[in-house]
Structure 1
């Protein structure tokens, strides 16, 4: 693909297809050139050229290396809060490597608890709220020890049993965001409990509708929307079910502009629980393959949501969610300027564009490599910067396999 970029963005490895000037005005003998060093870039700058055209099929792509101002433009010229000195209240108490195996056990256990809750609700045998509450506490404790471990695991998507996996992922995202918002431990548990139960009403929706492989008809969608009311009926009156838990279940499909359901509430009518529920529910849905859309890359989903922020989401909460997740959330497969593919494994909250990554593939050789971790916020960031996202299937990369290797290491 041919694209125009500013000379200030050039990096070694870029292929210039057109210097955007007469052949006498640039410092090279030919009108097309692969940039091999920073000396080449300095020559171009001294020639007074401000923009050039690059060919991304013959060299690396340039997507980022944003300053804060450029980051704002990346998100459509809107004012993200200044992240310098911002305290997310997410101190890492346990290294990722140590927490990952434990988090995997928690994830598996939570999946079973959620599945049992849905089956209990479907067949009327009574939801075990105490069991769910204890499970939520384990999730919150894991997030407290290391907020990236469960986030990394929740990035892996399976095509089967979407409803249960979705409830698990939404619980993890809610717990993390609530911690980042500096809520009390009791509030974090309360909101996370609401998130785990947010779709419990789907237990009353016919299985053939939940598992339908085609888009729903208007009539079927109206029935699907009733899962909210069914959920409220299933949990109300039970001990420990608070107003915030009820609000999360009742309002996670409401939208800021009043186009949501079931009550078409507008901004100031939606509770904080409902606003948080809307953000994390949509994010997980966008990043999962469904019959009506292909999964978006995590960073694409975040950008898409940010563009729609004024219509659908509480802007301040969405900005906090972005600060918590990072521009390239854990589990993202990214391309580096050095010619490697890497998995984002930890977010650097003081530098959203330079996370900790795990190198796994050499693009120049077209071969996988022995995995190793790099912190892009440190000195190596000059050599290895993220220049784009990558589709695992194009390189025959199984992210699940790499994740299992990390868990079992």
Structure 2
């Protein structure tokens, strides 16, 4: 929306303004807001700035005439304003400290995610030559992740930076495992069952290493023989698991059945409803979501919001409805990775979900007055803003895209709340 440069002497209640200073240089929660009273005007003037930017379309009134000014204030009023400013600054400092803690948590989460990716690469590299060792290492990885998942009552799911393009199989497998574990936890499964889900999810696509790379990476439609070859990967995954006597028997149905659908239209055996293992049904939902976000043809990739909506609106008959509902609760109405426009017209990137309020996730804001590595992150529920629409990353201006850096691969990891 177009903005107009305006002298601070012409400010009045009802104007929607943007402050021309960095977020950390003023006591207000946001750089964009509607003036609600004369105290805010005094506080703005006390910042020492000469002008602000007014957005007429979001304003309820017109600026004051140039010759209209606010009356001088008394010493009592001045002290009161100083007290209000100090109160706002204290609240702002609290939010800044909270933001620093949140970013430290994200950094820790990123580190754990990268370490898990490295371990998974090592496991896949050993699955043919040293299957017993590979399964043992996978079990240790799962044990560590499940213990971290279960150690807190409140676990947050965070958006991670993507891996490199040649790590699709690792990113997908780890992504499915992470979300499947959290889904299993949300459904009330016991720790051992969650570990079974996790080991099955980690290995569910390992059979693809026996499928020619030309088929795996092909972006144009597969021929019938190629599609048939690709559909052998569940069998190949089981074959690889069978190389080790220690691979959990209860996890093998996840490998063989994660493409089976409740209506019998899946593969390889066209199983229906209760014929499909419940744990495979859970992984199937998560696998479908991640595949919609990251198909073989990148041009067909759906943004997280669209992928979740598509499953809910068009695929309810094919997937377990309880697990699908839990996935929506886990990812929120606006899943991590979604680019959104807020009610104050600011753009932002959803980076984590508020499980208690699915419409109000945590948003990394686009604010060109702040370096991207210091961009404010707001809890939408506390800000009193709302999401107006989801925007496809391809429609973002270049400078906004570079700032928000929406991920081409949407990967998640969890971190227990401190």
Length-normalised TM-score, structure 2: 0.67
**C-alpha separation in 1, matches of 2:102 and 2:259:** 33
Q: Does 1:152 align with 2:126?
A: no
Deviation of 1:127 (Å): 5.4
Q: Aligned ranges for residues 242-253 of structure 1 at < 5 Å? A: 242-253=248-259
Unaligned runs of 5+ in 1: 1-11, 14-33, 41-94, 404-409
Is 2:363 the counterpart of 1:360? no
Residue of structure 1 in register with 2:69 after alignment = none
Question: Is the Cα–Cα contact under 8 Å of residues 238 and 256 in structure 2 kept in the other structure?
Answer: yes
Distance 1:190 1:128 in 2: 16
Greater CA deviation, 260-269 or 281-290?
281-290
Partner of 2:209: 203
- Partners of 2:208 and 2:233 in 1: CA distance: 5
Is this contact kept in 2: 1:106–1:139, CA < 8 A? Answer: no
- In terms of mean alpha carbon deviation, does 394-403 or 301-310 score higher? 394-403
Alignment of 1:22-37 (within 5 A): 36=58
Partner SS for 1:339: coil
Query: What are the equivalent positions in structure 2 for 1:52-63 lying under 5 Å apart?
Result: none
Q: Supply the distance in 2 between the matched residues of 1:369 and 1:121 (Cα, whole angstroms).
A: 39
Deviation (angstroms), 1:39: 9.0
- Structure of higher RCO (CA pairs closer than 8 Å, 6+ residues apart): 2
- The answer to whether the 8 Å contact 1:174/1:277 transfers is yes
- Equivalences for 1:164-243 in 2 at 5 Å? 164-236=170-242, 238-243=244-249
SS in 2 for 1:334: strand
CA shift at 1:97, angstroms? 3.4
Q: Are the counterparts in 1 of residues 349 and 406 from structure 2 also a CA contact under 8 Å?
A: no
The answer to whether the 8 A contact 2:127-2:135 is kept is: no
Contact 1:121 1:203 in 2 (8 A): no
How far apart, CA to CA, are the structure 1 residues paired with 2:267 and 2:130?
26
Kept in 2, the 8 Å contact 1:190–1:245? The answer is yes
Aligned to 2:139: 133
Q: CA contact under 8 A between 2:362 and 2:378: conserved in structure 1?
A: yes
**Separation of aligned partners in 1, 2:209 and 2:173:** 12
Deviations 1:334-357 (A, max 9, x none): 111101111222212222111121
Deviation of the 1:290 alpha carbon: 2.8
How many pairs align?
A: 311
CA offset digits 1:261-283 (Å, max 9, x no partner):
01101111111111111111111
Tell me the equivalent position of 1:376. 380
| Cα displacement (A) at 1:327 | 0.7
Q: Aligned pair in 2 of structure 1 residues 336, 299: CA closer, same or farther (>3 Å)?
A: same
When residues 212 and 292 of structure 1 are mapped into structure 2, their CA distance, relative to the original with a 3 A threshold, is same
> How do residues 285-364 of structure 1 correspond to structure 2 at under 5 angstroms?
285-288=291-294, 290-291=296-297, 293-361=299-367
Structure 1 residues 312 and 293, CA gap change in structure 2 (3 angstroms): farther
Question: Is the CA contact (8 Å cut-off) linking 2:339 and 2:406 kept in structure 1?
Answer: no
- What is the CA-CA distance between 1:250 and the residue it aligns to? 1.0
C-alpha separation in 2, matches of 1:162 and 1:292: 12
Partner secondary structure for residue 344 of structure 1:
strand
Deviations 1:81-126 (A, max 9, x none): xxxxxxxxxxxxxx74343223222222222232233333355766
Task: Tell me how far apart the structure 2 counterparts of residues 210 and 169 of structure 1 sit (CA, whole Å).
Answer: 18
Secondary structure of the residue aligned to 1:387 is strand
Comparing 140-149 with 291-300, greater Cα deviation is found at: 140-149
The alignment partner of 2:364 has SS state of strand
d(CA) in 1 for partners of 2:180, 2:60: 44
Contact 1:334 1:341 in 2 (8 A): yes
Q: How far did residue 142 of structure 1 move?
A: 4.3
Consecutive unaligned residues of structure 2, counting only runs of 5 or more, are 1-14, 17-55, 63-100, 411-418
Larger radius of gyration: 2
Structure 1 CA distance for aligned equivalents of residues 256 and 170 of structure 2: 18
Matches within 5 A, 1:37-48: none
